[in-house]
Amino acid sequence: MSVKKRTSKNVLLDTALENFYGAAEEMGLDDDLIEILSRPERSLCVSLPVTMDDGSVRVFEGYRVQHSTALGPAKGGVRYHPNVDLEECEALGSLMTWKCSLAGIPYGGGKGGVSCDPSELSMTEKERLTRTFAARISPIIGEWTDIPAPDVNTGAQEMVWFMDTISKMRGSLEPGVVTGKPISIWGSRGRTAATGVGVATCVRELLKSEDIDVNGARLIIQGFGNVGTYAALSMANSGAKVVGISDITGGYYAADGIDVQKAFKHVSSNPKRTLDGYEQPGLKKMDGDDILSQETDVLVPCALEGAVNAKNAASIKAKYIVEGANGPVTPDADEIVGGMGILVVPDFLANSGGVIGSYFEWVQNLNGFFWTEEEYNHRLIPIMTDNFYRVWNYSREYGVKMRRAAFLVAIKRVADAVKMRGTFL
Ligand code: NAD
């Protein structure tokens, strides 16, 4: 490779670039493709004057980066956080390119956000900020150009303001301009459970590939929020034994299996939506971190990044880790658990049910038609299964870890598209 490598002071971007160059070198990617794919296609910086509730005006900074549209419209979230800047959006946008590519959906990758502390903003200030942001980036977003979605500190309400602003500016309804909308306003049934159902699909196929009977296989699921609960419910429905769950209030272990339905009801019916106070016969309560090192076949971290790290990696007893959260196993922990013979199914394969679900919402919006939840899962599970085996088979054939295999498969699909489409514009 004779390309001069780009580096960045932003850790996220520097790591994304390093990972990309490493994979590109390993797969022998042409220099011109490396040059093209190591840069975003388009970056837009906008200033956002917002009238605050007290009548003063504050000017915020916003960004939208389209890393690649080789496979289809850019797809990626909108984040409201004080750390948001252009380089962070560039890094996260490139990760979305690889994630959508690996997911096998017709999307490129993008990311955007506003540098702000949303906890300091009232609802009306947030609405004005969101509508101003949507208007300022409107020249580059649209159903067939770039489709934002919720990310850190944004949700269904922000997406509705976004869609409403763009639709009114264009004088015609454009529901597919964003995904993550509520079911009542062009959202999709099945989306809430999609990421967890996708994670569970990976766990099931992994067990099958390793000749382990799903019925009775033991699982520990860290994090009992959106991803963790639906992964747990889906695995329990398949006959697996969820022996441990945890959330911010601690770890809950039962050697004979947690009653997942009961735990789900407990969480859904208390205002804080936590496991605090959950009881069942044979339940052992422990520290949240201790749940990670209990005996199990599969550990499924679905909480935060860095859950399995250099400090606790050596204590993991699972044979497999399936990453439901983003980045739950740190790079040094990845080396340690790899050395212990633990197989890791990487996040951007395991939790891609979320972005596949966004694609389903968009497809329904473009057709003005609504699927049932059964129809949704009927389409989601085969796609997740195919994606799992694409990575599994590559990993077996070339003797590389699943994480590296996933990255190589993803980059190849984008690189092939860039090559075939050529360099015009
Ligand atoms: P969530 O907020 O609904 O749930 C997070 C859960 O983790 C909560 O139960 C919380 O109590 C628990 N938790 C927090 N700190 C913990 C700790 N120290 N120990 C144990 N539990 C802890 O979030 P979510 O939507 O389920 O997302 C979880 C992860 O999955 C994040 O990394 C997110 O980026 C990723 N992800 C989510 C989606 C999605 O569709 N929701 C899609 C892709 C990736």
| pLDDT tens-digit readout, 33-76 | 999 999 999 999 999 999 999 999 999 999 999 999 999 999 99
Closest CA to 174 of 156, 136, 195, 148: 148
Q: Give yes or no for residue 126 having a pLDDT over 80.
A: yes
Position 247 scores a pLDDT of 97
| Confidence class for position 84, pLDDT limits 50, 70, 90 | very high
Position 424 scores a pLDDT of 79
**From 81, 192, 224, 226, mutation site for ligand 1 pocket: most ligand atoms within 8 A of C-beta:** 226
Interval between CA 423 and ligand 1 midpoint (Å): 40
Tokens of 157: 């309400």
Instruction: Count how many Cα atoms sit within 13 Å of the Cα of residue 80 in the half-sphere of its side chain.
Output: 20
Per-residue pLDDT tens over the stretch 345-374:
999 999 999 999 999 999 999 999 999 999
Residue 9 is among the residues annotated as catalytic for this protein: no
Q: Which atom of ligand 1 is found nearest the CA of 273?
A: 9
**From 191, 248, 380, mutation site for ligand 1 pocket: most ligand atoms within 8 A of C-beta:** 248
Q: Could you tell me if the CB of 248 is within 6 A of ligand 1?
A: yes
| Angle 333-337-342 from CA coordinates, rounded to 5° | 145
Tokens of 267: 């969480």
Residues 321, 122: Cα–Cα separation, whole Å: 40
The residue whose two tokens read 């038609």 is 369
Q: Give yes or no for residue 339 having a pLDDT over 90.
A: yes
The DSSP 8-state label assigned to residue 142 in this structure reads B
Q: Could you tell me if the CB of 351 is within 6 A of ligand 1?
A: yes
Q: Are 63 and 89 in contact (CB under 8 A)?
A: yes
Q: Could you tell me if the CB of 246 is within 6 A of ligand 1?
A: yes
CA dihedral 396, 402, 407, 413 (to 10 degrees): 40
Per-residue pLDDT tens over the stretch 208-251:
999 999 999 999 999 999 999 999 999 999 999 999 999 999 99
Mean pLDDT of the chain: 96
Per-residue pLDDT tens over the stretch 380-401:
999 999 999 999 999 999 999 9
Residues 271, 139: Cα–Cα separation, whole Å: 41
Q: Could you tell me if the CB of 115 is within 6 A of ligand 1?
A: no
Q: Give yes or no for residue 425 having a pLDDT over 80.
A: no
CATH number of 41-171: 3.40.50.10860
Q: Give yes or no for residue 100 having a pLDDT over 70.
A: yes
| Angle 388-97-62 from CA coordinates, rounded to 5° | 140
Residues 408, 395: Cα–Cα separation, whole Å: 10
Same fold across 41-171 and 192-345: yes
Percentage of the chain exceeding pLDDT 70: 100
Indicate the domain borders of the chain.
41-171, 192-345
Q: Could you tell me if the CB of 255 is within 6 A of ligand 1?
A: no
Q: Are 102 and 68 in contact (CB under 8 A)?
A: no
Q: Give yes or no for residue 377 having a pLDDT over 80.
A: yes
DSSP string, 278-337: ---TT-EEE-TTGGGGSS-SEEEE-S-TTSB-TTTGGG---SEEE--SSS-B-HHHHHHH
| Confidence class for position 178, pLDDT limits 50, 70, 90 | very high
For the domain made up of 192-345, give the CATH fold.
Answer: Rossmann fold (3.40.50)
